[in-house]
């Protein structure tokens, strides 16, 4: 009897192996330029499926899902993840709806995914032979550690650390910025377990001229070219030597999810999550600002001085993003609910402030004209963890309301009620979050 063949969607097929998907779905092969169609029959097959001829078919990159099929209703699924909204499947990027961030610590299944390249396949990861190299021109004693050696040689620490993508909120900028159109859900906070980065770096010796660290991971460039890096970023040595900067192997007591960096990653809370390198296999101690992929140009940089929307800013006038700005979310209830006028409205959320702490939360039901302090704001469980807040209010009469939330950090800086300064790549949008409530 023939075995049942597992059916997969087009997104999953292209994610698993884009070249194979081209061949199996359309019979398509390309030459060494990875563009065009070697066989006319395969072009005819694709044209029939998209519903028309393809005038520039000779320029079409291999491994590209035709846009006509990219909106397939068949959902793209990642094992171990639930409820995420997928923004892209190559690379995979997915955000978390606010109401799924209501747990004290973000469950692994709800943690957002922000990838730049193709992660290693789980079946290809050999835990016994996975090594982390420490080197660089400002490293006194370059060496390699297996994961077991890291676990045996250094003391273990667990910290709740919030990670947020530098582009979280990009979708609201106008003129629009290129890139994944994150709304509010590229953020998470959970308990990471590992060894302190400072302990490992100091064991290998840090020269006096060290100013930065950089990381490299085992993910591959989207082109498949092994000589290219999808991303290699880093942070000043002062951030690397903070107690809470970890080389982690566990999240919420379990292995880190594959798409979040299994089996080893950096975790540097409060800074753009891009400095927390995933699938970690090398750290370099640098005597200059790390010059890896996405450290230069306009990547993860904003204008050093404010600019008008749409301004073209020269690379030399862009500054690297470090600590993320103060921000908050309403995580309960879900936006769009109906509420009884005669009952108190109870709601809550999360707030964070990069390297700082949130010292005050306020809420508004009159579009920011007046604000009221929340009933309770928890202290962070440790430095760089997010904080839970709780609020209660009464609505004056029936009708449509927007409930807004605003955080203030320990330097007295408040969230803006409208979009903060426009920037070419759409980073650092920390405008107030709001939900809709129909009072009946």
What are the structure tokens assigned to 218, written together? 């085992």
Phi and psi torsions of 272, nearest 5°:
-50, 135
Residue 241 · residue 198 · CB < 8 Å: yes
Q: Would you say residue 136 has pLDDT above 90?
A: yes
Whole-angstrom distance, CA of residue 115 vs CA of residue 274: 9
Q: At what angle do helices 18-26 and 40-50 cross, to 10 degrees?
A: 90
Whole-angstrom distance, CA of residue 408 vs CA of residue 415: 6
Provide the pLDDT for residue 273: 98
pLDDT band (50, 70, 90) for residue 38:
confident
Provide the pLDDT for residue 75: 58
**Out of 174-183, 325-334, 390-399, which region has the weakest mean confidence (pLDDT)?**
174-183
* pTM of the model as a whole: 0.85
Closest of 395, 429, 416, 436 to residue 179, by C-alpha: 429
- Determine the 3-state secondary structure of 63 from DSSP: coil
Residue percentage of the chain with pLDDT more than 70: 95
Provide the pLDDT for residue 31: 79
Domains assigned to the chain: 10-71 (no CATH), 108-320 (3.90.420.10), 327-439 (2.60.40.650)
pLDDT band (50, 70, 90) for residue 74:
low
Whole-angstrom distance, CA of residue 372 vs CA of residue 150: 48
Mean pLDDT of 119-133: 94
Whole-angstrom distance, CA of residue 184 vs CA of residue 434: 11
Q: pLDDT (tens digit, 9 = 90+) per residue, 363-378?
A: 999 999 999 999 999 9
Mean pLDDT of 333-361: 97
**What's the mean pLDDT when you consider all of the chain?**
91
Provide the pLDDT for residue 76: 63
Q: What is the DSSP string of 309-346?
A: TT----GGGEEE--SPPPEEEEEES-TTEEE-TTS-EE
Mean pLDDT of 52-77: 71
List of residues 6+ apart from 290 with CB closer than 8 A: 212, 213, 214, 232, 233, 234, 284
Q: Cα–Cα distances in Å, from 94 out to 81, 83, 389, 405?
A: 10, 10, 26, 24
Provide the pLDDT for residue 341: 96
Q: Which residue reads 């629009």 in tokens?
A: 176
DSSP 230: S
What are the structure tokens assigned to 310, written together? 């749409």
Q: pLDDT (tens digit, 9 = 90+) per residue, 227-284?
A: 899 999 999 999 999 999 999 999 999 999 999 999 999 999 999 999 999 999 999 9
Provide the pLDDT for residue 2: 42
Residue 359 · residue 410 · CB < 8 Å: yes
Provide the pLDDT for residue 205: 98
Helix (H) and strand (E) counts in the chain: 7, 24
DSSP 148: H
Which residues, listed in sequence order, are joined to residue 267 by a DSSP beta bridge?
246
Whole-angstrom distance, CA of residue 187 vs CA of residue 102: 12
Higher pLDDT, 102 or 50: 102
How many C-beta neighbours within 10 Å does residue 396 have? 11
Closest of 334, 340, 336 to residue 395, by C-alpha: 340
Residue percentage of the chain with pLDDT more than 90: 75
Provide the pLDDT for residue 1: 40
Q: pLDDT (tens digit, 9 = 90+) per residue, 191-239?
A: 999 999 999 999 999 999 999 999 999 999 988 888 899 999 999 999 9
């Amino acid at each position: 009897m023939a075995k049942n063949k597992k059916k997969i969607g087009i997104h999953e097929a292209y994610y698993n192996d884009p070249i194979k998907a081209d061949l199996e779905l359309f019979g398509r092969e390309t030459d060494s330029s990875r563009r065009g169609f070697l066989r006319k029959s395969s072009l005819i097959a694709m044209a029939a499926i998209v519903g028309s001829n393809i005038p520039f078919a000779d320029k079409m990159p291999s491994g590209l899902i035709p846009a006509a099929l990219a909106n397939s209703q068949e959902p793209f699924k990642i094992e171990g993840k639930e409820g995420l909204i997928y923004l892209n499947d190559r690379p995979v990027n997915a955000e978390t709806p606010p109401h799924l961030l209501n747990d004290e610590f973000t469950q692994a299944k709800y943690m957002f995914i922000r990838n730049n390249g193709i992660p290693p396949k789980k079946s290809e990861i050999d835990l016994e032979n996975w090594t982390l190299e420490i080197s660089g021109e400002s490293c006194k004693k370059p060496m390699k550690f297996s994961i077991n050696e890291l676990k045996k040689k250094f003391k273990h620490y667990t910290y709740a650390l919030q990670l947020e993508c530098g582009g979280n909120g990009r979708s609201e900028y106008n003129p629009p910025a290129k890139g994944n159109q994150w709304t509010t859900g590229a953020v998470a906070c959970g308990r990471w377990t590992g060894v302190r980065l400072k302990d490992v770096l100091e064991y290998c010796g840090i020269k006096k001229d060290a100013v930065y660290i950089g990381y490299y991971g085992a993910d591959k460039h989207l082109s498949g070219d092994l000589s290219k890096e999808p991303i290699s970023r880093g942070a000043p040595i002062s951030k690397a030597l903070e107690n809470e900067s970890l080389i982690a192997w566990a999240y919420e007591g379990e292995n880190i999810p594959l798409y979040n960096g299994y089996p080893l990653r950096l975790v540097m809370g409060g800074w753009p999550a891009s400095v927390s390198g995933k699938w970690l296999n090398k750290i370099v101690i640098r005597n200059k600002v790390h010059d890896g992929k996405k450290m230069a140009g306009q990547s993860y940089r904003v204008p050093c001085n404010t600019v008008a929307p749409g301004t073209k800013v020269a690379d030399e006038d862009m500054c690297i993003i470090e600590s993320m700005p103060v921000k908050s979310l309403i995580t309960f209830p879900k936006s769009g609910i109906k509420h009884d006028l005669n009952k108190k409205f109870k709601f809550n959320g999360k707030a964070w402030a990069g390297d700082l702490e949130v010292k005050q939360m306020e809420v508004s039901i009159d579009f920011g004209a007046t604000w009221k302090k929340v009933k309770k704001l928890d202290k962070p469980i440790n430095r760089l963890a997010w904080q839970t807040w709780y609020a209660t209010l009464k609505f004056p009469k029936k009708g449509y309301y927007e409930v807004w939330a605003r955080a203030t950090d320990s330097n007295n800086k408040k969230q803006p009620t409208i979009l903060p300064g426009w920037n070419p790549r759409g980073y650092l949008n920390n405008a107030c979050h709001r939900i809709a409530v129909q009072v009946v």
